[in-house]
Amino acid sequence: MFTGFRLAVSFLTIIPLYKKMANNQELARSVSYYPLVGLLLGSAAAGVCYLLRIFGLTLAADAVALVTMITLTGGLHLDGLMDTADGLLSGRDRGKKLEIMKDSRVGAMGVMAFGTVMLLKLTFLYELDWGLKLTALILAPAAGRWAMAFGIVRYPYARAAGGLGAGLQGAGFTQLAIASVTLTAAAVWLVGWQGVVILGTVGLVTMVCTGMIVKSLGGMTGDTYGATGEMVETWTLFIILLGQQAGLL
């Protein structure tokens, strides 16, 4: 258990809790803990936001909270988002899209995707009431990491030669079930029965995002796992904001 958790932390963040060379079986088992890592990342961001709020900061606190998550993850998932945008929106064939995504340089589509996601996250956070803001900061990263687990388990790997996410392909229903239970328990604890509704929309958006990616690439890659996580994280902030405005949260 602790090996899988430490490996998940090391894989998804810059914190090197697991320093050995992991085999594919260990990598696959670590997928179970992705939402838990998301909860910890979100808690760190919420803690930073809370501390800055003491000094009367509002928008700045929201911005620094987002930067905290980027720092703790090393920008890994945002990098995947940018690479995915460059590839999928290139208008090329499948092989060329995968080649573009592998290029370390960022194109116009990647820059626009990054800017759009960060602007939306910051706006949604700013519009949230104080208590619900902290809840959203904790829950959204967990939902995004669950979406990554879904993509890993549900779809094949797109690259024949392997890559960052190739070692995760041994993950199966057990890992997704554990990840789902973790996320559901957190959502219900944080927002009550409304959490189930939020997760219903998260599941739907995840299926749409991954389905569109797989239709274009024939499978998922390490970059698309990160892209899916970022998009679902953004959606979670948005649906919580909608719930607030509708008087349901």
Q: Where do the domains of the chain lie? A: 2-245
The tens digit of pLDDT for each residue in 34-89 reads 999 999 999 999 999 999 999 999 999 999 999 999 999 999 999 999 999 999 99
CB-based contact 240:128 (threshold 8 Å): yes
CB-based contact 211:106 (threshold 8 Å): no
* pTM for the full predicted model: 0.95
Where does the pLDDT of residue 104 fall: very low under 50, low under 70, confident under 90, or very high at 90 and above? Answer: confident
Q: Which residues of 56-91 are buried (b: 16+ CB within 10 A; e: fewer)?
A: eeeeebbbbbbebbeebbebbbbbbbbbbbbbbbee
Taking the C-alpha atoms of residue 161 and residue 15, their distance in angstroms, rounded to an integer, is 28
Residue-level pLDDT at 110: 97
The tens digit of pLDDT for each residue in 157-184 reads 998 766 666 678 888 999 999 999 999 9
Q: What percent of the chain has pLDDT over 70?
A: 97
Looking at the chain, the number of H-run helices and the number of E-run strands are 11, 0
Where does the pLDDT of residue 1 fall: very low under 50, low under 70, confident under 90, or very high at 90 and above? Answer: low
The whole-number average pLDDT for the span 207-217 is 97
Taking the C-alpha atoms of residue 150 and residue 172, their distance in angstroms, rounded to an integer, is 9
Taking the C-alpha atoms of residue 192 and residue 20, their distance in angstroms, rounded to an integer, is 40
Residue-level pLDDT at 189: 97
Q: How buried is 120 (Cβ within 10 angstroms: 0-12 exposed, 13-18 middle, 19+ buried)?
A: middle
* Secondary-structure percent of the chain, ordered helix, strand, coil, rounded to 5: 80, 0, 20
Where does the pLDDT of residue 150 fall: very low under 50, low under 70, confident under 90, or very high at 90 and above? Answer: very high
